[in-house]
Structure formats: structure tokens, C-alpha cells
Structure 1
Amino acid sequence: MKDRMTCVNAVMFRRVWKGTNETVLAYSESEALAYRVRQDDVDPADPFVVDPDHALWQRGGEFLDVAGELLELPPAPDHSRF
């Protein structure tokens, strides 16, 4: 993916399940953004822009750290792990 605003390339990992969108944008091993939002609150055409008021969870940092934190989150409200 290419961020049109900053002209930076990133690898995107996305999981959408039961109305929740979980995304990790990896710019490098040391720079990444991960977030969880309701599916209706994200524009799939521009995953680089997330309204902080709509983010259920959001972190920036090293790729392995933020991806691990996202994967360890409890299920979103009204979801189960199974």
C-alpha cells in the first residue's frame, strides 16, 4: 500500500470479523501502526487515516510489539474468541 499523503509504502495486514476491522500498517520493522475500529468507521480505500474518536484501540511503535498487542486484545464487545 502507498500512503498518498506522505508517499510512504507500507505492508498492510487486515482482519475483518463481525463488524470489527483490525489493521496493522508496517512501514518498517521499527515503525508500525495498529488499530481496531468498527468496520463502518474506516475507509478501506485509505487505511492510513483513522479518526481517534472512532478507534476502539490504537498503538504505534515497532511492528512486532503493536501486532502482538493487537492479537492479544480481548474480543470486541459482543464477540467471542470462537
Structure 2
Amino acid sequence: MKMLRRKGFRQSVIRDEVASTDAVMFNRVWRGVRETVLAYSESEALAYRVRAEDVDAADPFTVDPDRRMWHRGGEFLEVARQLLALPPPPGHSAFPAAGLA
């Protein structure tokens, strides 16, 4: 959880009405891309990357599979590590565009 917060993810607790359970959500949006980890427990989590306009922020549990850029389910630590290990989305860079020459 600390590694996600250090990488700019915001943490909150939200209710999944379909599953009738609470989940810890880690979420960040950068340059129009939303990355989310939903943790139900240590052994059950979902992580995905999607364009920000392709997800309803009020319902992070429902994302059109055809719109997801990447997704995984499994143990919390594993899906969080996989999400953080992804390369930047197309058109993004870890370096600022200005000043490089």
C-alpha cells in the first residue's frame, strides 16, 4: 500500500454494492489515463488501466472490457506490482517534453 501511495495513488474505502462488500481503492489519473487497484483482501484484488473518459469515476467496479488498456485480477501485491511495472501508456513519458535536446 505504501508503494502505491508513494507513486501518487490516492487511497479510499468504497462500497461495492454488487458484491455487498467494502474495498480499498487506490487510484491515480495522469494525462487522461486512470490507473486503479481495488483490494477486497490480500488475496483478492483487481487492477486496471483505462483512459479516464472511458470509466465512470462513481462506479470504479464496472469498466467495459473493450475499453481497458490493461487489467489483472489476483492477489493484491501481485496485481499492484504488475500495474506499477507497466511501461508508460502511448504518448506518455517519464521525462518532461520541454528541455530535452
User: Which structure 2 residue ranges, 5 or more long, are not aligned?
Assistant: 1-13, 96-101
After TM superposition, the score normalised by the length of structure 1 is: 0.97
Q: Which runs of structure 1 show a deviation greater than 2 angstroms over 4 or more consecutive aligned residues?
A: none
Give the paired residue count.
Answer: 82
Identity of aligned residues (%): 67
Alignment of 1:59-78 (within 5 A): 59-78=72-91
User: What is the aligned partner in structure 1 of residue 16 from structure 2?
Assistant: 3
- The structure with more radius of gyration: 2
After TM superposition, the score normalised by the length of structure 2 is: 0.80
Higher relative contact order (CA 8 A, sep 6+): 1
User: What is the aligned partner in structure 1 of residue 9 from structure 2?
Assistant: none
Higher normalized strand content (fraction of residues): 1
User: What is the aligned partner in structure 1 of residue 7 from structure 2?
Assistant: none
**Matches of 2:18 and 2:43, distance apart in 1:** 20
User: What is the aligned partner in structure 2 of residue 44 from structure 1?
Assistant: 57
Paired residue secondary structure (1:28) = coil
User: Which structure 1 residue ranges, 5 or more long, are not aligned?
Assistant: none
User: What is the aligned partner in structure 1 of residue 98 from structure 2?
Assistant: none
